[in-house]
Homo-oligomer: A and B are copies of this chain.
Amino acid sequence: MRSHKHIAIAGAGLVGSLLAIYLAKRGYRVSVFERRTDMRKVTADRGRSINLALSNRGLRALEEVGLADEIRRVAIPMHGRTMHSVSGNLSFQPYGKQGQFINSISRSNLNVVLMNKAESLGVQFYFEKRVASVDFEKTALHFQSPDDTPMMFDAIIGADGGFSAVRGAMQVTDRFNYSQHYIEHGYKELTIPPAEDGFQLEKNSLHIWPRESYMLIALPNIDGSFTCTLFFPFEGKLSFDTLRTPDEVRSFFQQQFPDACQLMPTLVDDFCNNPTASLVTVKCFPWVKNKILLMGDAAHAIVPFFGQGMNAGFEDCRVLNHLLDKNADQLENTFAAFQTERKQHTDAIAQLALDNFIEMRDLVGDEKFLLRKKIEAKLHELYPEKWIPLYSMVTFYEDTGYADALSTGQRQKQIMDEVMQTPDIKTNWPSLDFEKIVSKL
């Protein structure tokens, strides 16, 4: 036991729970405060839990705490994107090389594994405890309940998500830079139920119905169902605002997503009753005030289009753990080093996630774009160490920081913009001077 310090974590979500494990393993006394009820005690909601894409960065962090194998057993590998055209044609684009894939995982399953593990290490969870305010001088939390006395700690970590109460308290202190920016699209979750004998779509794919200004996607669940998400504008001619009646919904889906539509018996019901949720990017700085630190979505909420929100949060935990090693568990130095090291990377993934929405909803349906991807895959095959496509750097190369992936990706884009100007590139691309292309990097 290196330390008897007591650390409070606000938020028992994915990042808060994994962080609790890391800290408990280091010998800290850890208390986690969660405003919701204990999800392990709530009746499961008929297998329609939201799923997430777990990739290398997240897995690496899970590996470090010895949970990767357990999680892999309940994950579904997705080896690439299956694009669905309006006429029902399918095309497949692998995410990386043979053996590289991302994993569809149930958020609640993963969260429960993490909480159970944390508890087994002595972490104390407090549910239905909503942070009301933070005392930055006394390193204390006040809770929303008249009879609650404030609790003091050696440090507090706000891992309480995109609408963090700890960050809210920080926001009204002086010189706290902050932004929240919503995109013009919202999303709605829909369902493709399992067939009697398994999955109704190819199981090991992330399915996309790209329609330029909007898209439908589907990720597999272990019960054989798919959770579909429609990303769609809030306002405008074709939007959540204008698509209101059951008839309008049905006819829109029949026109735009005919193959998906026929697999969705509860479409109209789901559409009319499920909430329409918004998508926000949150940036702030500093992440540290005195002995209080923000992590995960509380520090850097991003849009979901690169499948990196959770992965970035898990990487936060791994980086913090590494910096605790490096700083001999001196918390204030560690927190300072953490924000300095990490901010550039989370800013980068915020940008990459916004950019990838355009790629997913529009470009993946574009022939020229697919050719570009094919050429990049060839470059990667020929020069596996030198030319790594952006998607791969972000998803499969966890030793490459997001900021480095972003800047290399920008250089690659410039080079590929030029390459794509080659006359008759569509037919001539196999005879490109690949070595010369790579040498421009």
List chain A positions with a Cβ less than 8 A from chain B.
163, 171-172, 174-182, 234, 278
Between-chain CB contacts (< 8 Å), 16 pairs: A163-B172, A171-B180, A174-B182, A174-B278, A175-B182, A175-B234, A175-B278, A176-B180, A176-B182, A177-B181, A177-B182, A178-B178, A178-B179, A178-B180, A179-B180, A179-B181
Using A176-B180, A178-B179 as known contacts, list a sample of 4 further A-B pairs with CB atoms less than 8 Å apart, ordered by residue number in A: A175-B182, A175-B278, A178-B180, A179-B179
Give the complex CA separation of A234 and B176 in angstroms: 13
Q: Which B residues lie within 8 Å of A174 (CB)?
A: 182, 278
Partner of A177, one of B171, B175, B180: B180
Q: Which B residues lie within 8 Å of A176 (CB)?
A: 180, 182
Q: Which B residues lie within 8 Å of A181 (CB)?
A: 177, 179
- The minimal Cβ–Cβ distance linking A131 to chain B, given in whole angstroms, is 15
Smallest CB gap from A279: residue in B: B175
- The minimal Cβ–Cβ distance linking A395 to chain B, given in whole angstroms, is 29
- The minimal Cβ–Cβ distance linking A347 to chain B, given in whole angstroms, is 14
Q: Which B residues lie within 8 Å of A179 (CB)?
A: 178-181
Q: Which B residues lie within 8 Å of A234 (CB)?
A: 175
Q: Which B residues lie within 8 Å of A172 (CB)?
A: 163
- The minimal Cβ–Cβ distance linking A277 to chain B, given in whole angstroms, is 9
- The minimal Cβ–Cβ distance linking A150 to chain B, given in whole angstroms, is 20
- The minimal Cβ–Cβ distance linking A132 to chain B, given in whole angstroms, is 14
Q: Which B residues lie within 8 Å of A163 (CB)?
A: 172
Give the complex CA separation of A234 and B172 in angstroms: 18
Smallest CB gap from A184: residue in B: B175
Give the complex CA separation of A172 and B179 in angstroms: 13
Q: Which B residues lie within 8 Å of A182 (CB)?
A: 174-177
Give the complex CA separation of A175 and B179 in angstroms: 12
Smallest CB gap from A281: residue in B: B177
- The minimal Cβ–Cβ distance linking A163 to chain B, given in whole angstroms, is 8
- The minimal Cβ–Cβ distance linking A350 to chain B, given in whole angstroms, is 13
Q: Which B residues lie within 8 Å of A175 (CB)?
A: 182, 234, 278
Smallest CB gap from A276: residue in B: B174
Q: Which B residues lie within 8 Å of A278 (CB)?
A: 174-175
- Residue among A163, A175, A176, A178 with most chain B CB within 10 A: A175
Give the complex CA separation of A182 and B278 in angstroms: 27
- The minimal Cβ–Cβ distance linking A423 to chain B, given in whole angstroms, is 35
Give the complex CA separation of A172 and B174 in angstroms: 19
Give the complex CA separation of A278 and B173 in angstroms: 11
Give the complex CA separation of A163 and B178 in angstroms: 13
Q: Which B residues lie within 8 Å of A177 (CB)?
A: 180-182
Q: Which B residues lie within 8 Å of A171 (CB)?
A: 180
- The minimal Cβ–Cβ distance linking A144 to chain B, given in whole angstroms, is 14
Give the complex CA separation of A344 and B181 in angstroms: 17
- The minimal Cβ–Cβ distance linking A56 to chain B, given in whole angstroms, is 32
Q: Which B residues lie within 8 Å of A178 (CB)?
A: 178-180
Give the complex CA separation of A172 and B178 in angstroms: 14
Give the complex CA separation of A171 and B174 in angstroms: 18
Give the complex CA separation of A178 and B282 in angstroms: 10
Give the complex CA separation of A342 and B351 in angstroms: 28
- The minimal Cβ–Cβ distance linking A129 to chain B, given in whole angstroms, is 20
- The minimal Cβ–Cβ distance linking A175 to chain B, given in whole angstroms, is 5
- The minimal Cβ–Cβ distance linking A203 to chain B, given in whole angstroms, is 35
Give the complex CA separation of A171 and B178 in angstroms: 12
Give the complex CA separation of A172 and B171 in angstroms: 13
- Residue among A163, A172, A176 with most chain B CB within 10 A: A176
- The minimal Cβ–Cβ distance linking A352 to chain B, given in whole angstroms, is 20
Give the complex CA separation of A355 and B197 in angstroms: 65
